[in-house]
Amino acid sequence: MSDNLLEIRGLQVAFDGFRALDGVDLTVGAGELRFLIGPNGAGKTTLIDVITGLTRPTAGSVRFGGQELVGRREHQIVRLGVGRTFQTSVVFEELTVLENLDLAASFRRPLWSLLRSRRGVPETVDKALETTGLTALAGSRAGVLSHGQRQWLEIGMLIAQEPRLLLLDEPVAGMAQDERARTGELLTQVARDHTVIVVEHDMEFLRRYASQVTVLHEGRVLTEGSVEQVRADPRVQEIYLGR
């Protein structure tokens, strides 16, 4: 057995004959923080959608911890330990930060535990508060959070579900500089206990926080390597950096 948590082979997705993914092979080791980049339409979202069971591929396999994910439903994949953020917010504005985290954590708890008398905060929720730096805001309504704090809450809501793999879609989009730095630190910290795949375009952010980068282009993996390696690749400069 290898230490690879995720092994994707020959993945194809066709929409009315158009191949959004055209033979993607991708291997991500346990504990990696992997960045996924590529121009608009490269297939990044489609790839995340396939991993999480939202889109069914026309061919190929997605093995996660040795189990095949293709053919499983979304909620089964969540149960196996794959969590993702969406570009649209999933935060309940009327609930507090703590309540949002508790609710997210409950999705992976057995149903009976929802009826339990409240005996304090589950450990996973505590950990999510601490990791995201939101402890002081635990009692605040999510509706009053800044854009950055809301993004961290969403990451916290994933952590509270104790996934093994986190898929994050553009976590620093729309963030101010100080919030980006905080998010970079947060991702680095989250990757100590989890495997993380981040779709991100921001080159400055990648330069600071990415070690391994995979470049998608026209539904295929164009190249992989360190930020320096992929930036130096003339094909990457042409399709992505040379805009």
User: Which chain residues interact with ligand ADP by CB under 6 A?
Assistant: 15, 20, 38, 40-46
Query: What SS3 state is found at 109?
Result: coil
* Nearer of residues 53 and 81 to ligand ADP, judged by Cβ: 53
Smallest distance from ligand ADP to CB 215, Å: 11
**Reduced DSSP (H G I as helix, E B as strand, rest coil) percent helix, strand, coil of the chain, to 5:** 40, 25, 35
Could you tell me the smallest distance in angstroms from the CB atom of residue 190 to ligand ADP? Answer: 22
The least CB distance from residue 31 to ligand ADP, in Å, is 25
56/192 with CB nearer ligand ADP: 56
Give the CA diameter of the chain: 60
Of the candidates 23, 48, 27, the one whose C-alpha atom is nearest the C-alpha of residue 200 is 48
Least Å distance between CB 70 and ligand ADP? 17
Backbone φ, ψ for residue 53 (5° rounding): 85, 10
Which residue, 10 or 41, has its beta carbon nearer to ligand ADP?
A: 41
Smallest separation (angstroms) from ligand ADP to the CB of 40: 4
Q: In this complex, which beta carbon is closest to ligand ADP, that of residue 43 or of residue 57?
A: 43
CA gap 69, 81 in Å, rounded: 11
- Give 46 or 100: the residue with its C-beta nearer to ligand ADP: 46
Q: Is 115 helix (H, G, I), strand (E, B) or coil?
A: helix
Nearest to 156 by CA among 194, 114, 124: 124
